Amino acid sequence: MRLRQAMNRLLLALIAFAVIWFPLAAAAQDEGIRASVSVSIGDEGVLWTGQQITLNLDLKTTGFSFSNTHFNLPEVDGAFLMQTDTTTIKMTEQADGETWQMVRYPLAIYAQKAGRLEIPPIDVRFTSAAGFGSAAKAFELQSEPLELNVKLPPGVNSGDLVVTTTAFELDHSWQPESATMQSGDALTLTVSRSAADVAAMLLPSLPVFRTEGLAAYPQAPEISDRTNRGDLTGVRTDSIIWVIERAGKYEIPGIRFQWWDPVRNELQQRIVPGLSFDVPAPASQGDKTGPAVRSGPPSDQGHWLFWVLLAGLLCVSAWVIFNRKTSATTPEDEKSTFSRVQKACSANDAAQAYAAIHAWLAYLPPVSGGTRPASLGAFAQSINDEPLADELEALQKAVIEPGTAWRGTGLVKRLKDIRQQIAEQKTVQSGSRLAPLNP
């Protein structure tokens, strides 16, 4: 009995000792946890502008694990610093007889200018515990600044944007491929590029060629970054649409792309060829020619047919002469052209409506300065009509963006009103030239 009591008292003492000692020991162990952060360059050799330079951000602790990790990337003057991949590398190392746990975050920095490049300190926060069941300790640390020396590839002018990559691909297309173009047609250039170890956002945009008579509409680029086992490939697709506003001779210049290969130490380039084309002026009604008529007297068998056709021709000629006399304020050419505008708008055919309106502009009276409006924008601006400008903007969007739903009801109604106003203005101006009665 006494032995059992003694054993019970000993067990209680051990339990009390454990309850008191283990928290104190864990607290003492937690207080001994240390941590640090550092940055280093993972690349060897020459560092070039436009090159993806690997920057290693290392988090270290003498504790057992990491949690709640967060860091802020600073802005670097003359370079882009980003995290292109969320992959981390876990390692251990021995230092001064202690075992340090380390987590490495690979970052990418792209220098855009040559010379000395300074990377500011990086703020890091994380927590670490000594072991299972131990209280976690929070750390807020800051890395030391880092300096890099970046060189400009030979043959590249200072200030030029250069892409440094070991693999560069380029593809382009012109649509339509036909060289026959007319006023109102749309021409599209599409260029796709891909580069290894380069983020897509760093591939430069296409230069936009602008000239009178060609309305340029650069489209929003398609950008994507593809990562495969840590290898990055940036892909970018750009498109530019030119809408032909008037007849003339045009030449869209070629575009040169250059990149530096750091393995071969070569500056390479690819050229997207330009395009030259002529846009003929629309033929007038009077330029149309009919089928050839055989000269000479008619045969006996077709004698009666000849006189019937001649009588019909005389009737038509008389009607045309009479119609011209009674409708001098609105020529037949203008009527037929505007009829094409109405037909295209009723069919909701944006391309046909765009071309028909351009042809109809030729029949409008001169605006300020004695000139006629040569484009839709100039037309809307000359009469200061905001509803018309909105309708024309919607039409142009439908022309340059295939698949856009467009209805021509509002546009043709507005054009009819404006056409009526122009006719009324002509009538008023014509009547004002008459001498007043009974002066």
Mean pLDDT over the full length of the chain = 78
**Confidence band, pLDDT 50/70/90 cuts, at residue 381:** low
Gap between the Cα atoms of 345 and 415, Å rounded = 11
Helix (H, G, I), strand (E, B), or coil: what is residue 89?
Answer: strand
| DSSP structure string for 264-314 | TTEEEEEEE--EEEEEPPPPPGGG--------SPPPSTTHHHHHHHHHHHH
Mean pLDDT of 381-389: 76
* Mean of pLDDT values over 248-252: 92
List Cα–Cα distances, 321 to 38, 331, 407, in angstroms: 94, 12, 38
CB atoms within 10 A of CB 117: 21
- The confidence score (pLDDT) of residue 30 equals 47
Report residue 439's pLDDT band, with 50, 70 and 90 as the boundaries: very low
Residues 356, 344: contact at Cβ < 8 Å?
yes
Pseudo-torsion of CA 45, 50, 52, 55, nearest 10°?
A: 80
Q: Which long-range contacts (CB under 8 A, 24 or more apart) does 138-143 make?
A: 138/68, 139/35, 139/61, 141/35, 141/36, 141/37, 142/37, 143/37, 143/38, 143/39, 143/57
Give bridge partners of residue 111 from the DSSP assignment: 79
Distance from C-alpha of 142 to C-alpha of 153, rounded to nearest angstrom: 33
d(CA 384, CA 374): 15
- Domain 31-151, CATH: 2.60.40
pTM here?
0.57
DSSP 110-128: EE-SSEEEEEPP-EEEEEE
pLDDT of residue 340: 83
CA dihedral 161, 163, 164, 168 (to 10 degrees): -160
Q: What band does 193 get if pLDDT is binned at 50, 70 and 90? A: very high
How would residue 57 be classed by pLDDT, with cut points 50, 70 and 90? very high
pLDDT tens readout for residues 390-428: 888 788 777 666 567 888 889 888 888 888 888 877 665
Q: Phi/psi at 178 (nearest 5 deg)?
A: -65, 140
Tokens of 98: 């202690």
| Most confident stretch, 88-92, 191-195, 342-346 | 191-195
Read off the tokens for 392: 């024309």
Residue 430 has pLDDT above 70, yes or no: no
Domain ranges of the chain: 31-151, 164-279, 326-431
Residue with tokens 């994380």: 126
pLDDT digits (tens, 9 = 90+) for 70-80: 998 999 999 99
Residue 357 CA to its chain's centroid (Å): 29
The two structure tokens encoding residue 104? 């490495």
Position 265 scores a pLDDT of 92
Dihedral angle of Cα 295, 297, 300, 304, to the nearest 10 degrees: 90
Cβ-proximal residues to 27 (8 Å cutoff; 6+ apart), any chain: 135
* Class of residue 110 by CB neighbours under 10 A (exposed 0-12, middle 13-18, buried 19+): buried
Per-residue pLDDT of 305-338, as tens digits, reads 444 444 544 454 444 444 444 443 344 478 888 8
